Protein backbone atom coordinates (compact mmCIF):
# COMPACT_ATOMS: atom_id res chain seq x y z
CA UNK A 1 0.00 0.00 0.00
CA UNK A 2 2.71 2.46 1.02
CA UNK A 3 4.73 1.41 -2.01
CA UNK A 4 1.90 2.29 -4.39
CA UNK A 5 1.35 5.58 -2.55
CA UNK A 6 4.93 6.55 -3.24
CA UNK A 7 4.76 5.40 -6.85
CA UNK A 8 1.69 7.49 -7.52
CA UNK A 9 3.19 10.52 -5.84
CA UNK A 10 6.13 10.11 -8.22
CA UNK A 11 3.76 9.77 -11.17
CA UNK A 12 1.92 12.96 -10.17
CA UNK A 13 5.27 14.75 -9.95
CA UNK A 14 6.22 13.46 -13.41
CA UNK A 15 2.96 14.80 -14.86
CA UNK A 16 3.60 18.25 -13.41
CA UNK A 17 7.20 18.24 -14.57
CA UNK A 18 6.06 17.18 -18.04
CA UNK A 19 3.48 19.95 -18.11
CA UNK A 20 5.92 22.72 -17.25
CA UNK A 21 8.56 21.41 -19.65
CA UNK A 22 6.26 20.88 -22.64
CA UNK A 23 3.76 23.64 -22.04
CA UNK A 24 6.47 25.88 -20.63
CA UNK A 25 7.87 26.80 -24.03
CA UNK A 26 4.31 27.32 -25.29
CA UNK A 27 3.75 29.81 -22.49
CA UNK A 28 7.07 31.46 -23.27
CA UNK A 29 6.23 31.85 -26.95
CA UNK A 30 2.79 33.20 -26.05
CA UNK A 31 4.29 35.81 -23.74
CA UNK A 32 7.03 36.79 -26.19
CA UNK A 33 5.24 36.89 -29.53
CA UNK A 34 3.81 40.39 -28.97
CA UNK A 35 7.28 41.77 -28.28
CA UNK A 36 9.68 39.87 -30.55
CA UNK A 37 7.44 40.17 -33.61
CA UNK A 38 7.78 43.57 -35.28
CA UNK A 39 4.84 43.00 -37.62
CA UNK A 40 1.89 40.70 -38.04
CA UNK A 41 3.84 38.20 -40.14
CA UNK A 42 6.56 37.76 -37.50
CA UNK A 43 4.00 37.42 -34.73
CA UNK A 44 2.19 34.79 -36.77
CA UNK A 45 5.44 32.90 -37.32
CA UNK A 46 5.98 32.79 -33.56
CA UNK A 47 2.44 31.60 -32.86
CA UNK A 48 2.51 29.08 -35.71
CA UNK A 49 5.62 27.50 -34.19
CA UNK A 50 3.45 26.17 -31.36
CA UNK A 51 0.16 25.98 -33.24
CA UNK A 52 0.18 22.22 -33.94
CA UNK A 53 1.26 21.12 -30.45
CA UNK A 54 0.07 23.53 -27.74
CA UNK A 55 -3.25 21.77 -27.10
CA UNK A 56 -1.57 18.38 -26.76
CA UNK A 57 0.88 19.80 -24.25
CA UNK A 58 -1.98 21.07 -22.07
CA UNK A 59 -3.18 17.49 -21.62
CA UNK A 60 -0.41 17.01 -19.06
CA UNK A 61 -2.11 19.52 -16.75
CA UNK A 62 -5.46 17.72 -17.07
CA UNK A 63 -3.89 14.33 -16.43
CA UNK A 64 -1.90 15.70 -13.49
CA UNK A 65 -5.06 17.03 -11.84
CA UNK A 66 -6.95 13.82 -12.61
CA UNK A 67 -4.15 11.72 -11.12
CA UNK A 68 -4.34 13.70 -7.87
CA UNK A 69 -8.14 13.27 -7.84
CA UNK A 70 -7.96 9.50 -8.31
CA UNK A 71 -4.84 8.63 -6.29
CA UNK A 72 -5.03 11.23 -3.51
CA UNK A 73 -8.67 12.35 -3.13
CA UNK A 74 -8.07 14.11 0.21
CA UNK A 75 -5.21 16.08 -1.29
CA UNK A 76 -7.37 16.96 -4.28
CA UNK A 77 -10.27 18.10 -2.08
CA UNK A 78 -8.12 20.32 0.13
CA UNK A 79 -5.91 21.75 -2.61
CA UNK A 80 -8.63 22.50 -5.14
CA UNK A 81 -10.94 24.04 -2.56
CA UNK A 82 -8.05 26.11 -1.18
CA UNK A 83 -7.05 27.44 -4.60
CA UNK A 84 -10.59 27.59 -5.98
CA UNK A 85 -10.62 31.25 -7.06
CA UNK A 86 -7.08 31.09 -8.39
CA UNK A 87 -7.91 27.96 -10.39
CA UNK A 88 -10.96 29.70 -11.86
CA UNK A 89 -8.63 32.46 -13.10
CA UNK A 90 -6.29 29.79 -14.52
CA UNK A 91 -9.23 28.11 -16.25
CA UNK A 92 -10.38 31.42 -17.77
CA UNK A 93 -6.81 32.15 -18.91
CA UNK A 94 -6.59 28.70 -20.52
CA UNK A 95 -9.89 29.24 -22.33
CA UNK A 96 -9.05 32.76 -23.52
CA UNK A 97 -5.59 31.64 -24.58
CA UNK A 98 -6.99 28.75 -26.60
CA UNK A 99 -9.69 30.86 -28.21
CA UNK A 100 -7.14 33.50 -29.20
CA UNK A 101 -5.38 31.00 -31.49
CA UNK A 102 -8.58 30.59 -33.49
CA UNK A 103 -10.19 34.04 -33.27
CA UNK A 104 -7.18 36.24 -33.93
CA UNK A 105 -7.54 36.22 -37.73
CA UNK A 106 -11.32 35.89 -38.03
CA UNK A 107 -11.90 39.61 -38.58
CA UNK A 108 -9.72 42.05 -40.51
CA UNK A 109 -9.78 44.71 -37.81
CA UNK A 110 -6.67 46.00 -36.00
CA UNK A 111 -8.51 46.41 -32.69
CA UNK A 112 -9.90 42.87 -32.88
CA UNK A 113 -6.49 41.41 -33.61
CA UNK A 114 -4.81 43.45 -30.91
CA UNK A 115 -7.36 42.24 -28.34
CA UNK A 116 -6.72 38.58 -29.06
CA UNK A 117 -2.98 39.07 -29.37
CA UNK A 118 -2.78 40.53 -25.89
CA UNK A 119 -5.22 37.91 -24.62
CA UNK A 120 -2.69 35.28 -25.67
CA UNK A 121 0.18 37.23 -24.12
CA UNK A 122 -1.49 37.89 -20.76
CA UNK A 123 -3.09 34.45 -20.54
CA UNK A 124 0.26 32.78 -21.21
CA UNK A 125 1.81 34.77 -18.34
CA UNK A 126 -0.99 34.27 -15.81
CA UNK A 127 -1.05 30.47 -16.02
CA UNK A 128 2.54 29.67 -14.97
CA UNK A 129 2.49 32.56 -12.48
CA UNK A 130 -0.61 31.28 -10.66
CA UNK A 131 0.22 27.59 -10.89
CA UNK A 132 3.76 28.27 -9.76
CA UNK A 133 2.45 30.30 -6.82
CA UNK A 134 0.21 27.38 -5.85
CA UNK A 135 3.12 24.92 -5.97
CA UNK A 136 5.21 27.26 -3.85
CA UNK A 137 2.37 27.53 -1.34
CA UNK A 138 2.30 23.73 -1.00
CA UNK A 139 5.92 23.76 0.11
CA UNK A 140 5.73 26.93 2.21
CA UNK A 141 2.64 25.86 4.10
CA UNK A 142 -0.88 27.23 4.52
CA UNK A 143 -3.27 27.43 7.50
CA UNK A 144 -4.99 24.02 7.40
CA UNK A 145 -6.96 22.69 10.35
CA UNK A 146 -7.39 19.17 11.72
CA UNK A 147 -10.19 18.49 9.22
CA UNK A 148 -7.84 19.40 6.36
CA UNK A 149 -9.78 22.55 5.58
CA UNK A 150 -8.06 25.80 4.56
CA UNK A 151 -8.83 28.43 7.20
CA UNK A 152 -7.29 31.48 5.54
CA UNK A 153 -8.53 33.97 2.93
CA UNK A 154 -7.78 34.32 -0.76
CA UNK A 155 -5.13 36.95 -0.01
CA UNK A 156 -3.53 34.53 2.42
CA UNK A 157 -2.54 32.42 -0.60
CA UNK A 158 -0.23 35.18 -1.82
CA UNK A 159 2.65 34.33 0.49
CA UNK A 160 6.01 35.79 -0.59
CA UNK A 161 7.67 32.43 -1.23
CA UNK A 162 4.72 31.25 -3.29
CA UNK A 163 4.74 34.41 -5.38
CA UNK A 164 8.49 34.14 -5.90
CA UNK A 165 8.04 30.53 -7.03
CA UNK A 166 5.45 31.74 -9.54
CA UNK A 167 7.81 34.43 -10.81
CA UNK A 168 10.66 31.90 -11.07
CA UNK A 169 8.63 29.49 -13.19
CA UNK A 170 7.27 32.32 -15.34
CA UNK A 171 10.77 33.61 -16.11
CA UNK A 172 11.96 30.07 -16.84
CA UNK A 173 9.03 29.69 -19.24
CA UNK A 174 10.08 32.94 -20.95
CA UNK A 175 13.63 31.66 -21.33
CA UNK A 176 12.46 28.25 -22.56
CA UNK A 177 10.12 29.92 -25.05
CA UNK A 178 12.92 32.12 -26.38
CA UNK A 179 15.21 29.10 -26.72
CA UNK A 180 12.44 27.26 -28.56
CA UNK A 181 11.86 30.15 -30.97
CA UNK A 182 15.56 30.16 -31.91
CA UNK A 183 15.05 26.59 -33.11
CA UNK A 184 11.84 27.33 -35.01
CA UNK A 185 12.50 30.65 -36.78
CA UNK A 186 15.02 32.17 -39.17
CA UNK A 187 16.07 35.54 -40.53
CA UNK A 188 15.80 38.74 -38.51
CA UNK A 189 13.24 37.26 -36.11
CA UNK A 190 15.62 34.43 -35.27
CA UNK A 191 18.54 36.79 -34.69
CA UNK A 192 16.41 39.03 -32.49
CA UNK A 193 15.15 36.14 -30.38
CA UNK A 194 18.64 34.62 -30.13
CA UNK A 195 20.01 37.81 -28.57
CA UNK A 196 17.06 37.98 -26.19
CA UNK A 197 17.46 34.32 -25.25
CA UNK A 198 20.96 34.88 -23.89
CA UNK A 199 19.86 37.82 -21.75
CA UNK A 200 16.81 35.98 -20.44
CA UNK A 201 19.02 33.02 -19.59
CA UNK A 202 21.15 34.99 -17.14
CA UNK A 203 18.07 36.61 -15.60
CA UNK A 204 16.58 33.14 -15.14
CA UNK A 205 19.84 31.91 -13.59
CA UNK A 206 19.89 34.69 -10.98
CA UNK A 207 16.21 34.23 -10.10
CA UNK A 208 16.58 30.45 -9.90
CA UNK A 209 19.57 30.78 -7.59
CA UNK A 210 17.52 33.08 -5.36
CA UNK A 211 14.64 30.59 -5.31
CA UNK A 212 16.92 27.67 -4.43
CA UNK A 213 18.54 29.69 -1.65
CA UNK A 214 15.19 30.77 -0.22
CA UNK A 215 13.74 27.26 -0.31
CA UNK A 216 16.60 25.88 1.79
CA UNK A 217 17.50 28.82 4.02
CA UNK A 218 14.04 30.29 4.53
CA UNK A 219 12.00 27.06 4.70
CA UNK A 220 12.37 23.96 6.83
CA UNK A 221 13.34 21.61 4.01
CA UNK A 222 16.96 21.14 5.05
CA UNK A 223 20.01 23.29 4.46
CA UNK A 224 21.77 20.95 2.03
CA UNK A 225 20.52 21.13 -1.57
CA UNK A 226 19.02 18.04 -3.18
CA UNK A 227 20.42 16.55 -6.41
CA UNK A 228 17.54 18.18 -8.29
CA UNK A 229 18.45 21.57 -6.82
CA UNK A 230 22.03 21.20 -8.01
CA UNK A 231 20.85 20.01 -11.41
CA UNK A 232 18.50 22.98 -11.75
CA UNK A 233 21.25 25.50 -11.03
CA UNK A 234 23.83 23.84 -13.27
CA UNK A 235 21.29 23.45 -16.08
CA UNK A 236 20.06 27.06 -16.05
CA UNK A 237 23.60 28.47 -15.97
CA UNK A 238 24.64 26.10 -18.77
CA UNK A 239 21.52 27.04 -20.77
CA UNK A 240 22.31 30.76 -20.46
CA UNK A 241 25.91 30.23 -21.55
CA UNK A 242 24.88 27.96 -24.45
CA UNK A 243 22.24 30.47 -25.59
CA UNK A 244 24.84 33.23 -25.72
CA UNK A 245 27.31 31.01 -27.57
CA UNK A 246 24.76 30.06 -30.22
CA UNK A 247 24.35 26.37 -29.32
CA UNK A 248 20.60 26.57 -29.81
CA UNK A 249 19.64 22.91 -29.49
CA UNK A 250 21.68 22.34 -26.35
CA UNK A 251 20.47 25.63 -24.86
CA UNK A 252 16.85 24.54 -25.28
CA UNK A 253 17.62 21.11 -23.80
CA UNK A 254 19.38 22.62 -20.79
CA UNK A 255 16.58 25.14 -20.24
CA UNK A 256 14.03 22.29 -20.32
CA UNK A 257 16.11 20.37 -17.76
CA UNK A 258 16.28 23.50 -15.58
CA UNK A 259 12.54 24.12 -15.40
CA UNK A 260 11.85 20.41 -14.98
CA UNK A 261 14.35 20.22 -12.12
CA UNK A 262 12.82 23.22 -10.35
CA UNK A 263 9.35 21.68 -10.46
CA UNK A 264 10.73 18.28 -9.51
CA UNK A 265 12.60 19.87 -6.60
CA UNK A 266 9.33 21.17 -5.17
CA UNK A 267 7.86 17.66 -5.07
CA UNK A 268 11.15 16.19 -3.80
CA UNK A 269 11.33 18.63 -0.89
CA UNK A 270 7.62 18.22 -0.16
CA UNK A 271 7.68 14.41 0.14
CA UNK A 272 6.24 12.58 2.11
CA UNK A 273 3.90 15.53 2.63
CA UNK A 274 1.56 16.72 -0.10
CA UNK A 275 0.35 19.86 1.68
CA UNK A 276 2.02 21.54 4.64
CA UNK A 277 -0.11 22.96 7.44
CA UNK A 278 1.32 26.14 8.94
CA UNK A 279 -1.17 25.76 11.81
CA UNK A 280 0.20 22.49 13.15
CA UNK A 281 2.49 19.93 11.55
CA UNK A 282 0.14 17.22 12.83
CA UNK A 283 -2.42 18.50 10.31
CA UNK A 284 -0.14 17.98 7.30
CA UNK A 285 -1.55 16.00 4.41
CA UNK A 286 0.79 13.17 3.45
CA UNK A 287 0.97 10.44 0.85
CA UNK A 288 -0.22 8.03 3.55
CA UNK A 289 -3.26 9.86 4.96
CA UNK A 290 -4.59 11.23 1.67
CA UNK A 291 -4.28 8.23 -0.67
CA UNK A 292 -6.99 6.12 -2.24
CA UNK A 293 -7.53 2.47 -1.21
CA UNK A 294 -5.01 -0.12 -2.38
CA UNK A 295 -7.32 -1.64 -5.01
CA UNK A 296 -7.90 1.73 -6.65
CA UNK A 297 -4.17 2.36 -6.87
CA UNK A 298 -3.58 -1.11 -8.35
CA UNK A 299 -6.15 -0.53 -11.10
CA UNK A 300 -4.72 2.90 -11.82
CA UNK A 301 -1.23 1.44 -12.04
CA UNK A 302 -2.34 -1.06 -14.69
CA UNK A 303 -3.99 1.73 -16.70
CA UNK A 304 -0.87 3.91 -16.41
CA UNK A 305 1.43 1.09 -17.53
CA UNK A 306 -0.72 0.51 -20.63
CA UNK A 307 -1.50 4.06 -21.72
CA UNK A 308 1.42 6.19 -20.52
CA UNK A 309 3.84 4.81 -23.16
CA UNK A 310 1.17 5.47 -25.82
CA UNK A 311 0.90 9.10 -24.73
CA UNK A 312 4.69 9.49 -24.77
CA UNK A 313 4.90 7.91 -28.23
CA UNK A 314 2.20 10.19 -29.62
CA UNK A 315 3.78 13.27 -28.04
CA UNK A 316 7.16 12.38 -29.46
CA UNK A 317 5.68 11.71 -32.90
CA UNK A 318 3.90 15.08 -32.91
CA UNK A 319 7.08 16.94 -32.02
CA UNK A 320 8.99 15.03 -34.70
CA UNK A 321 6.44 15.73 -37.45
CA UNK A 322 6.41 19.48 -36.70
CA UNK A 323 10.14 19.77 -36.06
CA UNK A 324 10.98 22.09 -38.98
CA UNK A 325 11.42 25.83 -38.79
CA UNK A 326 8.56 28.20 -39.54
CA UNK A 327 9.38 31.00 -41.95
CA UNK A 328 7.69 33.47 -44.25
CA UNK A 329 6.79 31.87 -47.56
CA UNK A 330 8.63 32.65 -50.80
CA UNK A 331 5.47 34.04 -52.32
CA UNK A 332 2.57 35.83 -50.73
CA UNK A 333 -0.97 35.06 -51.96
CA UNK A 334 -3.10 38.03 -52.88
CA UNK A 335 -5.61 39.44 -50.42
CA UNK A 336 -8.49 37.88 -52.35
CA UNK A 337 -6.88 34.48 -52.58
CA UNK A 338 -8.51 31.66 -50.54
CA UNK A 339 -5.11 30.80 -49.12
CA UNK A 340 -4.16 34.29 -48.03
CA UNK A 341 -2.86 34.49 -44.51
CA UNK A 342 -2.95 30.74 -43.95
CA UNK A 343 -0.10 28.53 -42.90
CA UNK A 344 0.69 25.61 -45.14
CA UNK A 345 2.36 22.83 -43.17
CA UNK A 346 5.35 21.21 -44.75
CA UNK A 347 6.58 18.76 -42.18
CA UNK A 348 8.71 16.91 -44.69
CA UNK A 349 10.27 20.01 -46.20
CA UNK A 350 12.78 22.45 -44.85
CA UNK A 351 10.24 24.76 -43.28
CA UNK A 352 6.60 25.65 -42.84
CA UNK A 353 5.62 28.53 -45.09
CA UNK A 354 3.60 31.40 -43.73
CA UNK A 355 1.97 33.75 -46.23
CA UNK A 356 1.60 37.46 -45.81
CA UNK A 357 -1.44 38.40 -43.74
CA UNK A 358 -4.56 39.95 -45.15
CA UNK A 359 -4.62 43.68 -44.64
CA UNK A 360 -7.60 45.98 -44.85
- Supply φ then ψ for residue 50, to 5 degrees: -110, -5
Supply the pLDDT for residue 356.
Answer: 39
pLDDT of residue 173: 96
Q: What is the pTM of this model?
A: 0.87
First-to-last CA distance in the chain? 65
Mapped onto helix, strand or coil, the DSSP state of residue 313 is: helix
Reported as a pLDDT band with limits 50, 70 and 90, residue 329 is low
CA–CA dist 58, 68 (Å, integer): 16
Q: Are 27 and 127 in contact (CB under 8 A)?
A: yes
* Cα–Cα nearest to 343, from 320, 326, 358: 326
Radius of gyration over every alpha carbon of the chain, rounded to an integer in angstroms: 21
Alpha-carbon torsion (249, 171, 186, 47), positive or negative = positive
Q: Between 14 and 224, where is the model more confident?
A: 14
The predicted model gives 174-184 an average pLDDT of 95
Which of these, 357, 352, 300, lies nearest to 334 by C-alpha position?
357
DSSP single-letter state for residue 178:
H
The angle, 0 to 180 degrees and rounded to 10, between the axes of the packed helices 84-103 and 73-82 is 80
Q: How crowded is the C-beta side of 222, counted as CA atoms within 13 Å?
A: 11
Per-residue pLDDT tens digits for 108-136: 778 888 888 899 999 999 999 999 999 99
Counting Cβ atoms within 10 Å, is residue 313 exposed (0-12), middle (13-18) or buried (19+)?
exposed
Confidence tier at 220 by pLDDT (50, 70, 90): low
Vertex 39: Cα angle to 36 and 45 (nearest 5): 65
Amino acid sequence: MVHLNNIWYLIVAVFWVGFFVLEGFDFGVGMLHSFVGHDDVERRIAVNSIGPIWDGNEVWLIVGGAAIFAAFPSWYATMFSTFYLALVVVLVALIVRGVSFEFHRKIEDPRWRSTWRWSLTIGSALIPLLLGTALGDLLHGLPIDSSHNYTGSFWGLLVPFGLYTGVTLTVLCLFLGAAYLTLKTDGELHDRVARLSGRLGWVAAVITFGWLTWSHVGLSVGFLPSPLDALALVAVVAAAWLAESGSEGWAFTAAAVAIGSVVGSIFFDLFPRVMVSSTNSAYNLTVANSASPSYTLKVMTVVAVVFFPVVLAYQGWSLYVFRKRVTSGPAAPGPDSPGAGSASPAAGSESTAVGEPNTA
